[in-house]
Amino acid sequence: MYICFLGQLSELRNIPLEINDRILFCFSVPELLENLRSTVGSDPGAVICKPPLPDDVRAAIEVCYPEITFVPYENAAQRIAKYRENVIRLTPGFSIELSGLLYAECCRKQILFHRDGYIRTLNYCFGRIPFDLLEMNGIIRCHDSFAVNLNHVVRLAPGAFILKDGTRIPVGRTYSKKITKYRKAFRGNAFRQHDESESIP
């Protein structure tokens, strides 16, 4: 995971690090922006700022780098640990932040990870995705070629999940029993008001 730290080196001592982390030290806001532009791209990362960022700079970073999360310096240890639980690494060069994932689909030997406003792609086998880990974040496989984040589902229709933007995610017949189990497990979610009256064939 990328960790961009804006501050003095001595102030980093309380931040929990792992062997695969890439630490980007920045001593000014322009240096922070340059590091984000040249290194991070759309990969998940955390920005920790000892001095507060100007609101307009923070807003610009949130637009340009949607998988960046801002971590307050005061409780960075706890926040970084929680953020790690929401990031999964599929290959040495590809990680994805799970809470913002709407759905994933397999298309021509590629996996398309649909997020709000953009798509990330990866040449990877759909069957190799660790869905047992993703299920802890509410992401389930519902079709041979689709997985959906239940946290972004607003209702169930016959044979499909309906997302907030109206996208229909198909449900394969072989996954129907599994979906029924999750429909019960996720009562209280956004689609609770719909799941009693609609069913999956």
The pLDDT tens digits of the residues spanning 46-74 come to 898 888 888 998 888 888 887 788 888 88
No. of helices (H) and no. of strands (E), the chain: 6, 14
Q: How many other β-carbons are positioned within 10 Å of the β-carbon of residue 100?
A: 19
- What pLDDT does 109 receive? 86
Average pLDDT over every residue of 23-27: 86
pTM for the model: 0.75
The 3-state DSSP class for residue 99 equals coil
Q: Among 7-11, 39-43, 65-69, 94-98, which stretch is predicted with the lowest mean pLDDT?
A: 39-43
The pair phi, psi for residue 198, each rounded to 5°, is: -120, 145
CA 111 to chain centre: 15
The pLDDT tens digits of the residues spanning 118-177 come to 899 999 999 999 998 898 888 999 999 999 998 898 888 888 889 988 999 999 988 887
Q: What is the greatest pairwise CA distance in the chain?
A: 59
**Structure token digits, residue 55:** 């609101």
